[in-house]
Structures are given as C-alpha cells and as structure tokens.
Amino acid sequence: MSIGTIWRYGDDINTDVIFPGKYTYQPLTPEEMAGHAMEDLDPSFAGQVKEGDVIVAGENFGCGSSREQAATCLKAAGIAAVVAKSFSRIFFRNAINNGLPVIELSEGIEAMKKGNTLSVDFEEGVVAYEGHEYHFPALPNEVIAIIEDGGLISHVRKELGKG
C-alpha cells in the first residue's frame, strides 16, 4: 500500500515536456535528472515534488520519444506511481524496466484533483480516492518479475546468474 499526493496532468503528455531533448544526450546524475523533470510543462514540479507523490494523467501518457529518462527522472524525483487512462507503449516499458510502477485505470481519473491524496494497493490491484475504489488489471507475470527485481537490468543479471 502506498499513499501519495497527486500531481494532475491531462492527455498526451509527451516525453519532451517530461524530460527535454536538450538534456537527453548528457550524462546526468539522478538528482540532476529530477531537477529537470516536467520542466517544460510544469516548472513548479521539480521544486515541490515529494517522495511518494503520484502523477495522475489522461490518455497516452509518455508519448513521443523513446528516451528512458522520462521514466527515470520521475522515479528520481520520488514519484511512487503514475496512474493514467493509457500509456504510450515505449514509456510503459521504460517505466517498468526502471522499476517505476505504472497503472492503467479506466475509471475514476476525471474526479482526481491535484493536491489530494490517493492510495494504491499493488497486490490487490486497487486505487482508492476519496472513499471510492477503482480496480486495475494485474500486470503479466513477466512484468511483475521485472518490477520485483528492481528493474530490467537487475532482473536479467539475476537470470544470467550474475547475482
């Protein structure tokens, strides 16, 4: 179970506004990446986001470029989960591969407001908000194994017997 404060965004939030292209080919530390998170969409985000906060958005979150920093900068900023109506497929994969939980929720999103809190029960597949419970489908086993191992790189390390 995880409880967090909501950052609320709309549809088609693209990876350029989550993490600008001008930083994409620079080697940055996780803290530096977190400092640029959402820079072109919401300049208040990087300064105010707290560990455990959640992002709630509409359709097609993370569309655009394949840059993995769009997922890792949010994780580095402390985001515990992104809840959206739908995700772009590359962002969805990148998030899981870096241990950032992504939840596809078909109902309830409209009502969720910035600054309110939301709780997520990953095991039961339930998002709770202001007394309502919304269910999300469990992720495929392959995917759960990757998240449990803390991301794809450590998952494959383990599979290959490299510890």
Partner 1 sequence: MGMTFAQKVLAAKAGLESVAVGQIVEVEPDFCMSHDNTAAIAKKFAKIGVDRVKNPERFVIVLDHTVPASTEKYALGHKEIRQFVREQGIANFYDMGVGICHQVLPEKGFALPGALILGSDSHTTTYGAFGAFSAGVGRSEMAVLYATSKIWLKTPATFKIIVTGHLEEPITSKDLILKIIGDIGADGALYRSIEFTGRAIEEMSLSSRMVLSNMAIECGAKNGYIAPDKRTFAFLEGRAVRKYTPVYPDPDARYEKVLKFDATRLDPQVAKPHTVDNVSPIGEVAGTKIDQALIGTCTNGRLEDLRLAGKILSGNKVADGVRLLILPASQEVLLGALKEGLIKIFVEAGALVLSPGCGPCLGAHQGVLAPGEVCLSTANRNFKGRMGSAEAEIYLASPATVAASAITGTISDPRRFL
Tell the smallest beta-carbon distance from residue 30 to partner 1 (Å). 13
Tell me: does residue 123 bind partner 1 (CB under 8 A): no
Options 105-113, 117-125, 126-134, 148-156: segment touching partner 1 (CB under 8 A)? 148-156
Total residue length of the chain? 163
Distance CA 55, CA 14 (A): 14
- Judged by CB under 8 A, which of 1, 2, 3, 21 binds partner 1? 21
How many helices (DSSP H) and strands (DSSP E) are in the chain? 7, 7
Of 21 and 30, CB closest to partner 1: 21
**Residues in a beta bridge with 7:** 55
Residue 4 one-letter amino acid: G
Element (H, E) at 119: strand 117-121
Phi, psi values for residue 139, rounded to 5°: -75, 155
Tell me: does residue 50 bind partner 1 (CB under 8 A): no
Exposed e or buried b for every residue in 114-141, given b needs 16+ CB within 10 A? eeeebebebeeeebbbeeeebebeebee
Count of residues touching partner 1 (by CB under 8 A): 41
- Is residue 22 within 8 A of residue 71, CB to CB? The reply is no
Of 59 and 121, CB closest to partner 1: 59
Would you give the binding string for partner 1 spanning residues 65-94, x where CB under 8 A is met?
xx-x--x--------------x-xxx--xx
- As a whole number of Å, the end-to-end CA separation of the chain is 28
Tell the smallest beta-carbon distance from residue 126 to partner 1 (Å). 23
Residues that bind partner 1 (CB under 8 A): 11-12, 14, 16-17, 20-22, 24-27, 39-41, 59-60, 63-66, 68, 71, 86, 88-90, 93-94, 97-98, 140, 142, 151-153, 156-157, 160, 162-163
